Amino acid sequence: MNSLLLALVGVGMILAGYFLYSKFLSSKIYALDDSRPTPAHQLQDGVDYVPTNKYVLWGHHFTSVAGAAPIVGPAVAVIWGWLPAFLWVTIGTIFFAGMHDMGALWASIRNRGQSIGALSGRYIGARGRNLFLVVIFLLLLMVNAAFSVVIANLLIATPTAVIPTWGALVVAFLVGQAIYRFRWNLGLVSVVGVVALYALIMVGDNVPLALPETMMGLPAKSVWIILLFVYAGVASMLPVWMLLQPRDYINGLQLFIALGILYGSVLIARPEIVAPSFNTNVPDGTPGIVPLLFVTIACGAISGFHGMVSSGTSSKQLAKESDARFVGYFGAVGEGLLALGAIIATTAGFQTLADWENVYQAFNDGGVNAFVEGGGNIIEAGLGLPQSLSATIMATTAILFAATTMDTGVRLQRFVVQEVGEIAGVNLKKGLATVIAVGIALALTFGAGADGSGGMLIWPLFGTTNQLMAALTLSIVAIMLLRRGRTPLPALIPLVFVGAMTVYALFVQLVTFYEQRNWLLLVLDIVILVAALWVIVEAFAAMRHARGYQGDDDEELAELAASHAAARDGRSED
C-alpha cells in the first residue's frame, strides 16, 4: 500500500469530522452561546484567567495536550500492523477525542472554569471527587516523570536538538512580550517567531551540544532531568501569557510546519508501507491487540489528559463559548494528524520489511526513535534535506511537544495539590504547592537510582489510567447533558466503549504484573481498578438521578460561584 493514499484518506476523514460532526456537537449538543460571558472574562486576573485570541489559545491547548504521547502510542501500536492503528486513530479522533475535548471545555466554562476533579464533586459527589483526584494525581505523576526521561533521552541521542529546544524559550518569551505588551500584529509576530525557531534548528544542526558524561557525580541524563523540572516548576508559576501561551502557540505552528514537511515529503516520495496491514508475526511477548490497542494509542484517539488541560487551563482562557469548537475539537484534529503522521513515518520510513522487523523486535521497541528515524528517511527522500537536518527537525518537534506537556502537567499538578489541600482544610500557597508537585515527581524519577530510571517505572499504567480518565470525564459530560434534557448518546457511546476496554486492560495487566512479580505496578493497578469501578458505579447512579433532575442549574451555579470566589480570594494572597 502506498503511504500517500493512506495519508489522503486519513486526513480527509479527520477534516470531515471537524467540518461536519463538530458543527453538530457545538450547535445541537453543547449549544454554545456567545452571549454567555466565559470565566476568562468573569474572573479575569492576568495570571490564569486571561481572555485569549482563539488561534493563540489553540496553539497553547494543542501543544499542551499533544506532547510525545500521540507519537509514542502509534509508533508502538503499529507492531500489530498499520491498519488497526489507522482505524483507531481516525475513528477515535472524529467520534471520541473531538467530542471529549470540546465537551470538557464546555463543562468547565459552564462551571466558572472549574477542573474536572472539582466538577466530579458537584455532579458525582464528594466520594467520587476524592477517587477522581486519586486517578488525576497518578496520571499527572506518570506524565511529568516519564516525559522528563523521554526528553532527556532525546537530548542525549540528538545533541543537535539542544540549542533549538532551549532557544525556543527565549523566542517564546519575546513573542509573549510582542503580543501582550507591545500589541504587535499576530501574523507578523507568528512569522518572526517561526523563522527564529527554524533558524535555531539550523544553528543546532551545525552546533551539536552535549553535557559531560558526569557532572557533580550525576550522569548527563540526570542533569537534564533536574534542569527540566526546574524549568517546568518556574514556568508553571509564571502568568500564562508570559511563557506558556506564546511558547505553545509557536510550537503549534512549528508542528504544523513539521507535519507539512512530512506530508509534503510523502506526496513527493510516495514511499510504500513496508509493514503489514495486520501483523501475524508479532514478536514473542507481544500482548493481545484487544484490549491493548485501545490503551496503547491513547493520545491521538482519545485521552483523559486532554480533559484535564481543557478544564485546567484552556477553559480559563476561552474568550467566547463558540471558540470551544476550534480550540477543543480542532485541537484533537491536530493531534490525530500527528498520530497519523507517526503511523506513516514508522511503517513507510524503512526500506524493507526486514528493516522494519529489525526495529520492532519486541513490544515497546518502536516509539520516538522509530518516528525520528522513519520520518527523517521520508523527508530526506521527499525534499532532499540531509538526514541530520531531517532528524533534528523530527527530534526538536518531539522534544518541544513533550516539554510543553510537562510544564502544563506541573501546573495542573499544582492545582490538584491545592485542591487536595482545600479538601483537607489547608490553604497551600502557589510556591509550596509547586514544590510538592515537583518534589513528588523527582522522588519517583530518582527513587530507583541516580540515572532517573524510576521515571518510567509506572509508565506501563499510563495508557489505562489515561483512558480511564477520559471515561470519567465523559461521564460528567453525559450527566450535564441529561440534566439539560439533551441526548447523552454522543458521550455515552464512547464512554461505554472506552470504559469497557480500559477495565478489561486493567485486568489483563493485573495478571501480567502478578506473573512478573512486579508488586509496585500490581498494587497501583489494584488501586486504579478499585477507584475506577467505584467512580463508574457512582457516575451511573448520578446519571439515573440526572434523568429526573428538576432543579435549576443556574441557581446552583450561583452558589458555586460564591464559594469559588471565596476560595480564590484566599489564594490571591499567593
Helix, strand, or coil here: 247?
Answer: helix
Residue 71 confidence (pLDDT): 85
pTM of the model: 0.86
Q: How many CB atoms lie within 10 A of CB 28?
A: 11
Question: In degrees to the nearest 10, what's the CA dihedral of 338, 340, 343, 344?
Answer: -100
Is the pLDDT score of 572 beyond 60? no
Q: Would residue 370 count as lying in a domain?
A: yes
Residue 421 confidence (pLDDT): 87
The residue segments making up the domain with residue 146 are 3-409+448-551
C-alpha cell at 107: 463543562
CATH of the domain at 93: 1.20.1740
Question: For residue 567, what pLDDT band results from cuts at 50, 70 and 90?
Answer: low
Cα-based distances in Å from 119 to 112, 216, 441: 10, 46, 25
Helix, strand, or coil here: 215?
Answer: strand
Long-range contacts formed by 287-291: CB under 8 A, 24+ apart: 287/363, 287/508, 287/512, 288/508, 289/80, 289/84, 290/501, 290/504, 291/501, 291/502, 291/504, 291/505, 291/508
**Rg for the chain (alpha carbons), in Å?**
22
Q: Would residue 571 count as lying in a domain?
A: no
Q: Would residue 433 count as lying in a domain?
A: no
CB 204 within 8 A of CB 392: yes
At 115-163, the pLDDT tens digits run: 888 898 888 888 878 888 888 888 889 888 888 988 898 899 889 999 9
Helices (H), 110-180: 116-123, 126-157, 162-176
At 207-236, the pLDDT tens digits run: 999 999 888 888 999 999 999 999 999 988
Q: At what angle do helices 186-206 and 244-269 cross, to 10 degrees?
A: 70
CB 389 within 8 A of CB 204: no
Residue 561 confidence (pLDDT): 57
Q: Would residue 160 count as lying in a domain?
A: yes
Is the pLDDT score of 112 beyond 80? yes
- Per-position b or e across 77-104, b if 16+ CB within 10 A of its CB: bbbbbbbbbbebbbbbbbbbbbbbbbbb
Q: How many CB atoms lie within 10 A of CB 260?
A: 10
**132 CA to centre of own chain:** 18
Percentage helix, strand, coil, to 5, in the chain?
Answer: 75, 0, 20
C-alpha cell at 477: 459530560
CB 227 within 8 A of CB 403: no
Is the pLDDT score of 555 beyond 70? no
What percent of the chain lies above the pLDDT cut of 70?
A: 95
Report how far residue 323's alpha carbon sits from residue 461's, in angstroms, rounded to the nearest whole number. 33
Q: Would residue 305 count as lying in a domain?
A: yes
**Burial of residue 343 (number of CB atoms within 10 Å: 0-12, 13-18, 19+):** buried
Q: What angle do CA 490, 491, 492 make, to 5 degrees?
A: 100
Q: Average pLDDT for residues 477-492, to the nearest whole number?
A: 93
Helix (H) / strand (E) containing 214: strand 214-215
Is the pLDDT score of 520 beyond 70? yes
Report how far residue 324's alpha carbon sits from residue 220's, in angstroms, rounded to the nearest whole number. 42
Helix (H) / strand (E) containing 62: helix 54-66
End-to-end, the C-alpha distance of the chain in Å comes to: 58
Q: Would residue 213 count as lying in a domain?
A: yes
Helix (H) / strand (E) containing 269: helix 244-269
Q: Would residue 223 count as lying in a domain?
A: yes
Residue 505 confidence (pLDDT): 93
Question: For residue 249, what pLDDT band results from cuts at 50, 70 and 90?
Answer: confident
Q: Would residue 416 count as lying in a domain?
A: no
Report how far residue 119's alpha carbon sits from residue 130's, in angstroms, rounded to the nearest whole number. 11
Q: Average pLDDT for residues 249-276, to the nearest whole number?
A: 89
Domain total of the chain: 1
Least confident of 387-391, 420-424, 562-566: 562-566
Question: For residue 84, what pLDDT band results from cuts at 50, 70 and 90?
Answer: very high
